[in-house]
Amino acid sequence: MSLMVGMRRLAAIAAVVLAFAAAASPSRAEMFGKQETPYTDLRPFPKWTGVLDRYFRELGQREGNCASPDFNRCHYKEWQAFIEKMRAEPRDRQLEHVNTFFNRRRYIVDPINWGVADYWETPGQFFAKNGDCEDYAIAKYMTLRDLGWAVADMRVVVVQDMNLNLVHAVLAVADGGRTQILDNQLAVLVEPRRIKHYRPIYAVNEEGWWRFH
């Protein structure tokens, strides 16, 4: 992501987060050492709610020629074969394999891939066109969801990468009393307390969102 695009995204995110700060519930320490405040109204995040809507509609579109650039039956079979292979694995191994499986895909920024500054892809679009940071996180989220992981245990977390001065996104998954970060920039799982250069801004899942402060 370019510096200019990253700054525009950060400004837009900050405006949304601050606009909803007045409706705060009691906060608690959680991600990357920051306090978090939960909310249930997902209307401030149309890209997230939009990708959820498109994903559930996409599940019914599993046909088509394998040469099609769109999500087709071969993409779906590849994804489902991986998921079925993972079902027998213990939970910690599922996290490791899911992270590795998607991190092998090529990173492409949205202005090149979609011609817009910021676009959130469904897993099917990610299989068809690759993607950038939030697209890795969304694909991992939906894969773990299909494997039976609870939505309440997963969040797509948008952070400011203080080293690169860019907005970034990762998947945070709670497992066995600790949280693991699945990051397209990291080959291994890492607990958030070990990552010092990420400043969390907000997190989302299907049940709500969290503001960090």
Q: Identify the pLDDT of residue 73.
A: 73
CATH of the domain at 8: 3.10.620.30
Give yes or no for residue 13 having a pLDDT over 70: no
- Residue whose C-alpha is closest to residue 212's, from 164, 172, 174: 172
Is 22 within the bounds of a domain?
A: no
Is 133 within the bounds of a domain?
A: yes
The model's pLDDT over 56-109, given as tens digits with 9 standing for 90+, comes to: 988 776 665 676 666 677 878 889 999 999 999 999 999 999 999 999 999 999
State the total domains in the chain: 1
* Structural domain harbouring 110: 3-14+28-212
Is 107 within the bounds of a domain?
A: yes
Which class for 49: exposed (0-12), middle (13-18), buried (19 or more C-beta within 10 A)?
Answer: middle
Give yes or no for residue 136 having a pLDDT over 50: yes
Q: Which of 2-6, 104-108, 154-158 has the lowest mean pLDDT?
A: 2-6
Choice between 56 and 209, residue whose per-residue pLDDT is larger: 209
Is 119 within the bounds of a domain?
A: yes
Taking the C-alpha atoms of residue 168 and residue 157, their distance in angstroms, rounded to an integer, is 8
Backbone angles phi, psi at 185, to 5 degrees: -90, -5
The reported pTM is 0.87
Helices (H), the chain: 3-19, 46-58, 73-86, 91-103, 110-113, 123-129, 133-146
Is 68 within the bounds of a domain?
A: yes
Q: Identify the pLDDT of residue 77.
A: 85
CB 191 within 8 A of CB 180: yes
